């Protein structure tokens, strides 16, 4: 993984005004900025693509190759992206990124948090400790650290910004002990944030959305070999959810 702060060379790091060239100068003062955490695949990938015509995308994920594929898709739509190949569980890296966003643009207009880790299904008394730690670190602890980092950037938006979380309720279901608990905790934090900001006119709009079942890598870990023909593709779900949130 590249160190935090290194971005795809072809893009010319827009977070650094001293090195920003061609690509960033096409942005106007009206260009909106969207942060997508978990942008390399699945719902995050297609949310970034759907937003690209009207938002500059700051795409965060660990997989550099997949981010570069996303960048190509965004460019094909006439959009622009900043690729940040980093791990959301690294608070120093994420703090560096948020500071870079502030220095370059001064705010965020949208944050879509799709990064998730899915522990393999198992009985509660057979959960792998390392897998359990990774599930909680990614789905709960990272989210709890990101909200205070990202919130100030959203609060600085010229018009009320949006934050998107995606529910996948499995709490209490057989074999979903770690994942079900982690998603329940994540969404509980988002619900609290929403309750705290709903009556504040200038605060971001917190959206808790529920995608339909999709043929993603997460679902494949839960249901290997499942017939995915009847599932809704993320390329369909992404614009549907953005419309539900009133963003598209």
Tell me the CB-side half-sphere exposure of residue 41, using CA atoms within 13 A: 13
Domain extent, residue 200, equals 9-243
pLDDT at 1: 33
Q: Measure Cα distances from 177 to 43, 171, 211, 231 in Å.
A: 23, 7, 21, 24
Burial classification of residue 149, based on how many CB atoms lie within 10 Å of its CB (0-12 exposed, 13-18 middle, 19 or more buried): middle
List phi, psi (to 5°) of 134.
-65, -40
pLDDT at 31: 83
> Is residue 22 assigned to a domain?
yes
Q: Is residue 128 part of a domain?
A: yes
| Predicted local confidence at residue 5, as pLDDT | 38
Domain-located, residue 61? yes
- Residue 91 inside a domain? The answer is yes
In a domain, 3, yes or no: no
For residue 76, is it within any domain?
yes
User: What is the CATH number for 237?
Assistant: 3.40.50.720
Q: pLDDT digit of tens for each residue in the chain (248 aa)?
A: 333 333 332 233 445 433 332 343 345 567 899 999 999 999 999 999 999 989 999 999 999 999 999 999 999 999 999 999 999 999 999 999 999 999 999 999 999 999 999 988 999 999 999 999 999 999 999 999 999 999 999 999 999 999 999 999 999 999 999 999 999 999 999 999 999 999 999 999 999 999 999 999 889 989 998 999 999 999 999 999 999 999 99
Residue 18, classed as helix, strand or coil, is coil
pLDDT at position 10, please? 28
Position 133 in a domain: yes
Residue 207 placed within a domain: yes
When divided into structural domains, the chain yields a total of 1
């Amino acid at each position: 993984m590249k160190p935090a702060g290194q971005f795809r060379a072809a893009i010319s790091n827009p977070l650094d005004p001293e090195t920003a060239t061609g690509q960033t100068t096409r942005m106007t003062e009206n260009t909106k900025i969207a942060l997508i955490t978990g942008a390399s695949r699945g719902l995050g990938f297609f949310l970034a693509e759907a937003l690209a015509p009207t938002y500059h995308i700051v795409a965060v994920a660990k997989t550099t190759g997949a981010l570069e594929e996303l960048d190509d898709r965004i460019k094909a739509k006439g959009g622009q992206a900043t690729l940040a190949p980093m791990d959301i569980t690294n608070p120093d890296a994420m703090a560096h990124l948020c500071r870079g966003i502030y220095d370059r643009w001064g705010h965020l207009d949208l944050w879509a948090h799709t990064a998730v880790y899915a522990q393999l299904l198992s009985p509660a008394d057979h959960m792998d400790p390392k897998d359990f730690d990774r599930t909680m670190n990614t789905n709960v602890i990272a989210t709890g650290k990101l909200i205070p980092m990202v919130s100030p950037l959203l609060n600085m938006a010229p018009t009320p910004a949006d934050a998107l979380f995606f529910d996948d309720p499995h709490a209490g279901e057989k074999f979903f002990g770690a994942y079900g608990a982690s998603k329940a905790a994540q969404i509980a934090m988002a619900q609290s944030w929403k309750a705290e900001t709903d009556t504040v006119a200038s605060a971001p709009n917190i959206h808790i959305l529920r995608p339909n079942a999709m043929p993603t890598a997460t679902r494949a870990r839960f249901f290997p070999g499942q017939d995915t023909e009847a599932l809704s593709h993320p390329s369909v779900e992404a614009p549907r959810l953005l419309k539900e949130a009133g963003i598209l």
